[in-house]
Amino acid sequence: MSNSIYNKLLAKENTLAVVGLGYVGLPIALEFARKIKVIGFDINETRVEMMRNKKDPSNELEAVAFEGCDIEFTSQLEVLGKANFYVVAVPTPIDEHNLPDLKPLIGASTTVGKVLKKGDYVVFESTVYPGCTEEDCIPILEKESGLTWKKDFMVGYSPERINPGDKVHTLQNVVKVVSGCCEDSLDNIAKTYELVVDAGVHRATTIKVAEAAKIIENTQRDVNIALVNELSLIFSRLGVNTYDVLEAAGTKWNFLKFFPGLVGGHCIGVDPYYLTYKAQQAGYHSKVITSGRYVNDSMGFYIGKQTAKKIIAQGKHIQDARVLVMGATFKEDVSDIRNSKVIDVVKELSSFQVTVDVIDPHASSEEMHHEYGISLCAKPSNDYDAIVVAVSHAEYAKLNESDFKKMLKNGEGVFVDIKGQFKGKIKDLEYWSL
């Protein structure tokens, strides 16, 4: 082991590179750079320049996170080629048909393949279906490099568990799953990650097991949220408040605590599609997982329709109605608007000819316009017929009923509290939650 890649990394004779410096890649690159020599590689030169200036393009890390790091940011292949241990953390989105879009992963594998040398390691961190690393990525590494896997270079897979906006569950304090392609490679990969993960690593038996473990973490969450979303559709018809029911049922020791809501973002609403795609390829048509996806993907439209119905029930002319939607990001206290399901609420309301204003203290209006053709409203007015609190940003938790009344026409109207954040606190307005 004395001549191992781990020891060489530790002695700074070898260098680790992180390919793809987004929500996942940048924190891990900086953490490694406190212990060993790191190259941070990204194809987006604008982002690279920001990072050189100690600015996180994903707005998650402060400048102090860059202090004391031995890291070189680059978009140049020649610089990347100086590394020996490559960690790949590029996006794995779905396309318009909800099928895996492997373009970034194939692009990154091609890039790494071009600079791969004998003795190098490649560890994939992007979320993929079981089999993707071996069937889709390694053949590209071999083709581009002319080298042979397991003889000339080693490959592992280590899924990421970071949770944007979460300051409690961090890279350091959550056990990380690692895998390799033989005993020795697993040992080197495990020891390398142990440098940055205080909570330690779990050594998965194979690469496929590690890939599957990640995909089911998010699939399980998606299906569980779908169940409570479906319950909320039923309870709404029965005139029962879902949050009241969950609070009562939650007093049992083995009742799982999930809450209804919009499932957006680029993980929970996306990853299950990678699994159902692979299942289908293997001759199995997923039913439970796809049903869950259907329910969760329908919630935004359902909320929009319920809001319109409540406005009509107040005797208002729906085409003249004005609605304020508070929050546009895919979850609370982050600026990420990608795959935000709040847009479905807006679309549904707009289909009733309702005028909708959207505000958000974290989202960028330019990005919203670019992504969805919706600009954010700089300042809410005081003549809305309904307010939809769509995202539980900390800023909104400070508001009370009189603040909302000031934004409503004559201080009256419909109050839709998607996350049940204001349950029990709204007395005069027409309150509705999932």
Ligand X SMILES: NC(=O)c1ccc[n+]([C@@H]2O[C@H](COP(=O)([O-])OP(=O)(O)OC[C@H]3O[C@@H](n4cnc5c(N)ncnc54)[C@H](O)[C@@H]3O)[C@@H](O)[C@H]2O)c1
Is-contact 360 391, C-beta < 8 A? yes
If the CB atoms of residues 10 and 106 are measured against ligand X, the closer one turns out to be 106
Using alpha carbons, select from 169, 163, 126 the residue that is nearest to residue 334: 163
Query: Pick the catalytic residue: 69, 181, 267, 377?
Result: 267
The first and second tokens of residue 146, run together, are 């002319």
Taking the CA atoms of 413, 419, 422 and 423 in sequence, report the sign of the dihedral they define: positive
Nearer to ligand X by C-beta: 164 or 261?
Answer: 164
Contact footprint for ligand X (CB under 6 A): 19-25, 42-44, 47, 58, 89-92, 104, 107-108, 111, 125-127, 160, 162, 164, 266-267
Which CB sits closer to ligand X, 135 or 412?
135
Give the residue closest to ligand X by C-beta: 22
Structure tokens given for 251: 């007093």
Tokens of 8: 């060489």
Q: Which DSSP category does 378 fall into?
A: S
We find the least distance from the C-beta atom of residue 128 to ligand X, in angstroms, to be 7
Using CA atoms, how far apart are residues 232 and 390, in angstroms rounded to an integer? Answer: 16
Strands 176-178 and 85-88: unpaired
**If residue 310 lies in a helix (H) or strand (E), which one and from where to where?**
helix 288-313
Nearest alpha carbon to residue 429 among 408, 395, 420? 408
Q: Which is nearer to ligand X, 90 or 323 (CB)?
A: 90
Q: How far is the CB of 4 from ligand X (least distance, A)?
A: 27
Q: Show the DSSP H helices in 203-261 as ranges.
A: 207-238, 242-249
Q: Which is nearer to ligand X, 57 or 304 (CB)?
A: 57
How far, in Å, are 62, 144, 183, 190, 212 from residue 118 at the CA level? 37, 13, 18, 20, 29
**CB atoms near residue 302 (< 10 Å):** 18
How many residues does this entry show for the chain?
Answer: 434
CB of 187 to ligand X, least distance (A): 24
For the question of residue 69 being annotated catalytic, the response is: no
Q: Which residues are catalytic?
A: 267
